Every structure is written in C-alpha cells, then in structure tokens.
Amino acid sequence: MQPRKVLVVDDSKLMHKMFEVMLRQYALVYASDGRQALDRLREHQDIDLVLLDVNMPNMNGLEFLAQLKAGGGGDGMAIVIISTEGRDEDTVRGLEAGAAAYIKKPFHSEEILDVISRLPARSAA
Amino acid sequence: MSDRPPAPTASGLELVAELRSALDRAGELARVAELNLRELAARGGDAGGPSLATELERRLATAESDVKELASRLVDSEHQGGRLMNLYVATYQLHATLDPAEVQATIAEIAINLLGAEKFVLLLRKDDAPGCDIALVGGTSNDRRDRREAPEIDGLYGGEVYAGGDPVVDATLEDGVLRLGPTADSKALAAVPLRVQNEVVGALVLLKLLDHKPILRAEDRDLLDLLSAHAASALFAARLFATKDRKLRTLESLVKLARGE
C-alpha cells in the first residue's frame, strides 16, 4: 500500500515525532485521542491509513473504532493498531474491531514499514 | 536476353554491407568464446561442457552467497537505522521543552514506548534533605491508583519519598553507574543514574517490563545511556528556567506595584 495521507493517533508527543521521522515520505496528520481522530477524519477526506494507539485519554483506540464503525466510516482506509497491550486477546479484540494489523510497542521501524507495504491497496471512500 | 548478372542496386549493396558487418561481429564473438574456452582449459579442466558447467555453478554459488550477505547487511543497516532514529527522537523530545512536567512526561514516554517498561519510578534528589523525591511513578495502566498499588511499586516506592533500601538503586545513586538487575536483594531491572556535570541528581528505576518484552536487549543499553546523559540535563534546564521565570514574574509584579499600575 502507498498511502496518500496517514493519520497518527497517539497521546504521546514522542510517538508523533517518531512517526514524523519514520514516515517522512508520507503526508501525516496527528491526533492525541479518539475524539480528535474523528475530527481529523472529517477534516481530511483523503486519509487512507490510520496508525492507532489503544491507551489514550478521552476516547481510547477501541472506542474510536466502534464510533467509526457506528458512523459508517472507515471503508476506504486501513487501520493499524500500535499498542503496549500485548496479550493475544488484545490482538484478537483489535482485529475484530476492524484493524488490519496489530503491532506491539516497542517496535522496530522496519516492522511498521513492512506492515504498511503489505497492506492491500484500498479504494477511496 | 543478356547472360550478364543484373547491376547491383543500392539496397542490395547495403544488404551486403550489413551481412559483412554481421559476419565480422560473429567472428569477433567466436574469437572471444574461443579465448574463454582456452582460458578455462588452461585453469585445469578441458574446454568441454562439464568443466564449463562446473565453473558456472561455482560462479552462481558465489553470486547467491553475495546476495545473501548483502540481504543480511541490509537488514543490519535497517536495524541500526531504527536504533539511531530512536536515539535521535528521544534526544530531540527531551530537549524540545522547558516545562519540567513535559520533560518528565517525555522520560515516561521513552520508558514505556521505546524501552517497553510497564512499571518504573523516577527519583530526584532532594535539594535540602537526604533521600529522593519520587517525581514520577509510571506504568501503562490507565488507572493511576493501580500504579502505586502494583506489587512492584510497593514499600520503597509507595510514598512520596524514597529514603533508600534497594541496594542496587542506592549504589547507583551513590556512584552514578548504570546497573542492570534483578539481583537477589533488588527488584530493579535497571537503575539508570541521572547525571548533570558528573553529579548524580537522581535515577530512573525500571521495575517491570511489558509481558511481551521479557528482557532488556543490547540496543536498549544505548537508550539507557542516553537517558542517563540527557534526561537530567533536560530536567535541570527546565527547572532552572521555571525558577527564573517565576522570579521574573514576581519582580515584574513588584515593579508594577511600585509604579502604582
């Protein structure tokens, strides 16, 4: 997959900087929680990849996915969960909620790039 | 009818010229092939098929080996690039603010997101009394009450002040040497000294890693060293700025008061 625009959803400024350096070839927008992420999706219709943390204030990653699904959104985008929650049931819950892949923190940068490259190309919503 | 051959046309002459050129090239190729075969024969085998096949197989094996080595080096380079990126981002973010609370938050984010720490404490030496303030109790749990109630964060780190008691942490606070554990008498997985100009001003103590990260890896040592060198100076600069800023505001208020504003 060659994403047009990537939404990074994480409450850590460190992770925002990390993705800014790691994914400098892509256009990025940022959100610090699920609510902001929903706003960003409304503002940027061309987002086709979401990198999503789970543990966040206000609205966590799984709640964001539920809201997105309830609103009928997310058809034209791939969602990758990147979380410190590393149990098998966390992975299953994330994938069942609609994520295309689940990556555990801490991660290697090549792991993220590899997962993005393997994602199937999505048609625009 | 004449028995003389027809006069050559311009296109016919061009055809002949092309034919001659093609024959010259074929002759050159044949000479190169002959030279190669003689060279192979001179190296030990005869110029026949089997030795040529052996030589080609040898070259193919060498090429495959080279490709594997290059692939391995590429993976190593990517890995090294990732490590350097982590170090760069951590350093950048530590010095990106002059707000002490934000610096502490960055230290916590490095511990959680880059080192995979589930439980940790940040100790800062008291200015005017023995012992250390427990400046930060960190963990991945959303519920802050859970963090202090966790079994790894009991007793020694349960209050507001660390008065000593973990021999590994005490030794690190004393001599400023990074230590890895746990040991028989210490739960600390790592005691990272925080130093400013060779003075130990505190320590970051890792007490538990995430379940899917069983041990600290060799590459984590770089990050621990970075924290040791940069976290304290970033905190020190932020605290100094906050103190000066507070004093400046007080003086400005006094000046305004004196002017009757």
ipTM associated with this complex: 0.90
Q: A87 to chain B: which residues are within 8 Å by CB? A: 211-212
Structure confidence by residue, pLDDT tens digits, A41-65? 999 999 999 999 999 999 999 999 9
Q: Are B213 and A87 within 8 A, CB to CB?
A: no
Contact B142 A55 (CB under 8 A): yes
In this prediction the pTM is 0.78
Q: What's residue B39's pLDDT?
A: 81
CB contact under 8 A, A15 and B81: no
- Inter-chain contact A18–B78, Cβ cutoff 8 Å? no
| pLDDT per position as a tens digit, B69-79 | 999 999 888 88
Q: How far A12 CA lies from chain B's nearest CA (Å)?
A: 7
Residue B1 scores a pLDDT above 50: no
Q: With 70 as the cut, is the pLDDT of residue A3 above it? A: yes
At residue B44 the predicted structure's pLDDT band, cuts being 50, 70 and 90, is low
Q: Average model confidence (pLDDT) for chain B? A: 85
pLDDT value of residue A120:
87
Identify the residue among B210, B222, B226 best suited for mutation to test binding to A, counting A beta carbons within 10 A and taking the highest: B210
Tell me which residue in B96, B142, B210 faces A86 most closely, judged by beta carbons. Answer: B210
Q: What is the pLDDT of residue B6?
A: 53
Q: Which tens digit of pLDDT belongs to each residue from B129-184?
A: 888 999 989 864 444 444 445 555 667 888 889 999 999 999 999 999 999 989 99
Neighboring chain A residues of B147 at a CB cutoff of 8 Å: none
* Rounded Cα–Cα distance for residues B40 and B38 (Å): 5
Spatial CB neighbours of A60, under 8 Å, sequence gap ≥ 6: A33, A34, A54, B142
Angle at A103 between CA A102 and CA A104, to 5 degrees: 125
Q: A44 to chain B, minimum CA–CA distance in Å?
A: 27
Contact: B109, A104; criterion CB under 8 Å:
no
Tell me the per-residue pLDDT of B21-32, one tens digit each, with 9 for 90 and over: 888 888 888 888
Tell me how far apart the alpha carbons of residues B183 and B191 are, in angstroms, rounded to a whole number.
12
